[in-house]
Each structure stands twice: as structure tokens, then as C-alpha cells.
Amino acid sequence: MSDFFESLDFGMVTSVVYKIISLFMPVALFLSGTSAAELDYSDKLGDSGYTGLYEVYEDYFPIGSAVSSGLLKDSQCSEFVLKNFSSMTFEYELKQPIICPTEGGWNFKGADAVADFAREHGLKLRGHTLLWGEESPQNWMVYDENKNLVDKETFYARLYDYFSVIIPRYDDVVDDWDIINEACHWDYSSRLHKDALYKICGEEYIYKAFEFAKEFVGENDKLILNETKVLNNKAKENNLYATIKAMIEKGTPIDGVGIQCHVDTLSFKETARRLDSIIKRFSKLGIEIQITELDMTAYSYDAQKAYDELPVWVEQLQILKYKRFFEVLRSHSDVVTSVTFWGIDDEHSYLAKKDGREDWGLLFDKHGNPKQSFYAACDF
């Protein structure tokens, strides 16, 4: 049953197709006795004495979540983080527009608070993210005072100085660094986005950024190239693969790939089978695989009408997808070295604020209670 759903590939599936599936889904699940039973964890709901997520996964990989200093100030949230996660990532306070909006204008407050929490409680921390061309096109690093792109030497000097401050400040507590975020292009017209960084340096900025970072990180730290929508988009997967291969061939110090995994529950492209083949493919390059931003939106695209409540058939698909994803991740625990969710629960998730509608993308509900998807992910 699940194989049937996972093997479908409609490409850009329309809402009409979803409508049909929504009618078909309960019947299909009902008819496939094993799957229906397999997806029913309702008897477990409401158990406040459940084992925390990271403990369940102790023998496999650390489990993390994206957090902000504001979230950690809330004692309920910080206790929840300590119960369920052994690792954290900076939700936004390490990003250049926040931590250093102008040249030399450092604003360490938020990132320091997150790092201090990790130090105090012995949690692992991901350094997300040092460079992100697409999202920071207007930043001081790439423009001069007349808003013209700077030359390559000026950009590299600024980048090097930036790394020389930010990396040593958090290196005692950060083990994995997302050196660059979302560099690869969506189609085959170019391997990398033609953003400001590319316009100044061509592909070379990728190699340089990793080389510069290597000078400042600790000996055992991992340098990661983090990418979005890899499961969804074959061109992106191939561009990412080719980029990493070129880096390795040039001797660039890259240790791993970050597969973000902001996944659509309803996507027939973003399947456990795809995840499995991507992990196999990339790990053959001799690098670590890190799942860096996992969540599963209940919607298929931004403009989709908001649900009043989560439809049962979507919930069932999410339970199924989380179950299969975690089966795949466990089966590759020799190369998957961390799994991080983007948010802690359905209340504290970027999906909850997106497009002004409610969403249900994580393993815990709005009150921090484990959902059926949680029990599915922990069922082994």
C-alpha cells in the first residue's frame, strides 16, 4: 500500500488530483488491513511519561531542533527541548543579516544566548549558517557604498574577516557548520544560483568559503554544504552532487551534505524511497549526510486554501511518511550523523506562521504532546 503511494509521481499535482486521492485514501487504507493498523497509534496518545525523542534515537544519531534565544527563555519550551533533543541549530540568530547587519556591526546577543544554553546543558549545536547568497543579496559583504558589486579580492577579505570573528566565538560548542546554505540552482542552466556571490567570484566562492572556514574551525568540526528541496528537484540534486564532487576533486575541505528536508506530506516526489537513494548516492562520495531542517507541511503549495482542521487522510499520509523516513534514516545510521527538525512542535514551527494558516508539520502538537507521527517515527 505505502509502496504504491510512494511510487506515484505526478510532478505538479493539482488540487483536483488531491481531491480524488482524499476520497480514495480512507477506502484504500481500510482495504489494506495491515497499513491501516500500522498507521494507528491513537492508543498511545496522551501519555505524558513518554520517552524523549533523542533518547529513543540514542543508538542511531543525535536529534535536534531549530531554536531561538526567545524560545529558550520560555521555561516550558526549554524543558521540552531538553526532554526531546540532544542537539540544536540556530533558527536565525547566526545568520549574517541578524548577527552582523553592517560591516563591523556585530550583534551577538541572540546567538550568544543560544550558545550559552547549549554549553550549560551539554547539547550539540549546528552553526547555521555562515553564508547564504540568495537570501542576503543586499548585504555589506558584496556591495560597495554605491551599491555596486565589489571585486573578488574585497569580497574574500570581508568574508575571511567575518569568519575570523564568528567561528572562534562559537567553535567550542558548535560541531557542525553549515558553511553555505542553498547555493545550488533549480535547473540545469547553471550548477549554482547566479546570485551576487556567483557574479563576483563564479564557482570559486564555494571553494574559498570552505578553505577559509577550515582555518578557524576545530580539528573535529564538520564543514557542511546545506541544500533545500533536494528530494523534490532532480536538477537540484544533480547540481548539488556535481558541486560536491568538484569540491572533493579539488581537495576542498568538505565533510558532509545537509539535506534540509522541508518536505510536503502530499508530495509524491519527496518520498522515503527518494531519501534512501539520495543518501546512498551522496554517501558514496565519502561524506556524512545530515538531515538539517526536517518538517512535513500538510499543504501542497503556498496558495492552497487553509484547512479548518487537519484532514484525517493527510494525517495518515504524514504518519506513514514519518514512519518510512525514519526507517530509512535508521538503516543509514552509519552515514547519517544528525537529524534536526525545523522547530520543536506545531506551535513553534515556521510553518505555523507561514501564509497565515495553521499547519501540522512536526512530531508534537501545539501543546507539545507527541502526535501519532511521533509514535510512528519511534516504532522500531
Active site (catalytic) residues: 182, 293
Closest by Cα among 154, 158, 242, 255 to 214 = 255
Asked if 228 is part of the footprint of ligand GLA (rule: CB under 6 A), the reply reads yes
Candidate list 28, 203, 350, 368; residue touching ligand GLA; CB under 6 A: 350
- Cβ proximity to ligand GLA: between 216 and 350 the closer is 350
Asked if 181 is part of the footprint of ligand GLA (rule: CB under 6 A), the reply reads yes
Asked if 297 is part of the footprint of ligand GLA (rule: CB under 6 A), the reply reads no
Strands (E), the chain: 63-67, 87-90, 124-131, 174-181, 222-227, 256-259, 262-264, 288-297, 336-341
Asked if 136 is part of the footprint of ligand GLA (rule: CB under 6 A), the reply reads no
The amino acid occupying position 337 is T
Distances (CA, A) of 104 to 66, 108, 140, 158: 26, 12, 10, 10
Q: How many residues bind ligand GLA (CB under 6 A)?
A: 7
DSSP 1-33: -HHHHHH---SS--HHHHHHHHHHHHHHHHHSH
C-alpha cell at 352: 505555523
Asked if 271 is part of the footprint of ligand GLA (rule: CB under 6 A), the reply reads no
Q: Nearest approach, Cβ of 184 to ligand GLA (angstroms)? A: 13
C-alpha cell at 326: 525514519
Asked if 293 is part of the footprint of ligand GLA (rule: CB under 6 A), the reply reads yes
Site for ligand GLA in 247-266 (CB under 6 A): 260, 262
Asked if 299 is part of the footprint of ligand GLA (rule: CB under 6 A), the reply reads no
Residues 6+ apart with CB under 8 A from 119: 172, 173
Q: Nearest approach, Cβ of 156 to ligand GLA (angstroms)? A: 23
Q: Nearest approach, Cβ of 181 to ligand GLA (angstroms)? A: 5
Q: Nearest approach, Cβ of 94 to ligand GLA (angstroms)? A: 9
Q: Phi and psi at residue 112, in whole multiples of 5°?
A: -60, -40
Q: Nearest approach, Cβ of 1 to ligand GLA (angstroms)? A: 31
C-alpha cell at 183: 547555493
Query: Which positions touch ligand GLA (CB under 6 A)?
Result: 181, 228, 260, 262, 293, 342, 350
